[in-house]
Every structure is written in structure tokens, then in C-alpha cells.
Structure 1
């Protein structure tokens, strides 16, 4: 996702509280939720996925790119920002997710966020 497509959020994407700092509105998560998301990523995710996959998923989360639709389901952008996909911790509608050979970054990011909930 490029910098021009980055959106600013007024409420935390995890807990829904109002965001006040510029950094929080840019990422979409308050400081407490950011710590919880990062802790969740380290706890269970690191053992299941390769480090470069986790790094890409964490980058999506830091950019505030995953938008919650329903419990555990997120709207995720394509790399060029022209398409959106639905991502869950078990599946994703992106081309890599449909093939299912390896977990995509959207799916891993959704998994991290679902553990932090």
C-alpha cells in the first residue's frame, strides 16, 4: 500500500476508542492496542509463520491497512491499492490466499489481530 492511499482513523481499529495523537490516527491503533497487537504477534504467530511473512503482516497492521468488517473478518488492500480483499485468520480472497499454497500477509495480519482482540 502506498503512502498516498494511507487513511487516517479517528477511532482505534481494535477497541473503538477515540484516537488523539497524530501517530495513533495514522496507524489506526492507540498505544495500548499497539502493544497488545505486537505481543500477540510474538506469542503465537512467530512459531507458525516465517519471519519475513510476519514482518509483512506487521507492516500492514502498522499502516492501519486492515479494516474490521465483522468479528475476525478484515478488509485488506492489494499491494498497489487498486483492489480490496476479505481476510480471516483461516482464509483470504487475494490470489495467494485462493491458491492456498502459503498463507498470505493479509491472512497472517488478520490472525495477529484476532489474537489481540
Structure 2
């Protein structure tokens, strides 16, 4: 992905226009970014493994989740930067999500963002 593809001029959570360079780089306004972090700490920390939570938080910080339908279905960029998957709190179209044996970090990231809504 190029640098231009990763910058967002609208908040990925509330869709408001982002004005500061820091917010544009993060993809979230300061209030939304705080809500996302609080949601991650509240429910998710007790449910999932710490290394998966860290990967999910990194995915959110990099703006790797783009909302498709409201705030419940997202398009997520794969770790190779080319492939994309559709993800919701209930499931993911990645290989791990389709097998269903383990919860992938894409689903955890969608869970965090749905809690922050």
C-alpha cells in the first residue's frame, strides 16, 4: 500500500472530517481514538489472548479496518498489504476465520470497534 492509500480525511468511526495532521495519520479523531482504546481495555482484555489484542490494536491504529455497512461490517487489509477480507464481530473471511478453530485478530479488531460505537 502506498502512503496516500493509508491516510484518511474522515474518521473511520464517526465519519467526521479530520483536521489535524495527527488525526489524519491515525484515521480517528481524538474522542473516537479514546473511545476505541477504552472499549479495548474494558471487555476485550478479559476475553482474548494478549498477543492477539496487540495485533488487533495495531491494525486499528494503522487504519486497516474500513467500515462497509454502518459500524458492524468492515473491510480489513491482510498482513501482506494486498488482500482484503470482510470481517464482523461474528466472523471473518480470512483463512483462520473460515476454519473457525480460533478467533483471528481481525475479528478482535472488529469487536473493539463495535464496542466503541
Structures share a fold, TM > 0.5?
yes
For 2:56, the equivalent position in structure 1 comes to 57
Residue 74 (structure 1) aligned with residue 74 (structure 2)? yes
Structure 1's unaligned 5+ residue stretches are none
RMSD value, Cα:
1.4
Residue 86 (structure 1) aligned with residue 95 (structure 2)? no
| 8 A contact 1:5–1:81 mirrored in 2 | no
For 2:32, the equivalent position in structure 1 comes to 33
Within 2, Cα distance between the matches of 1:26 and 1:80? 20
Within 2, Cα distance between the matches of 1:88 and 1:11? 21
1:27 to partner: Cα distance: 1.6
| 8 A contact 1:15–1:33 mirrored in 2 | yes
Aligned length: 116
Within 1, Cα distance between the matches of 2:4 and 2:14? 23
Within 1, Cα distance between the matches of 2:80 and 2:17? 29
**TM-score normalised over the length of structure 2:** 0.94
Structure 2's unaligned 5+ residue stretches are none
Within 1, Cα distance between the matches of 2:60 and 2:94? 17
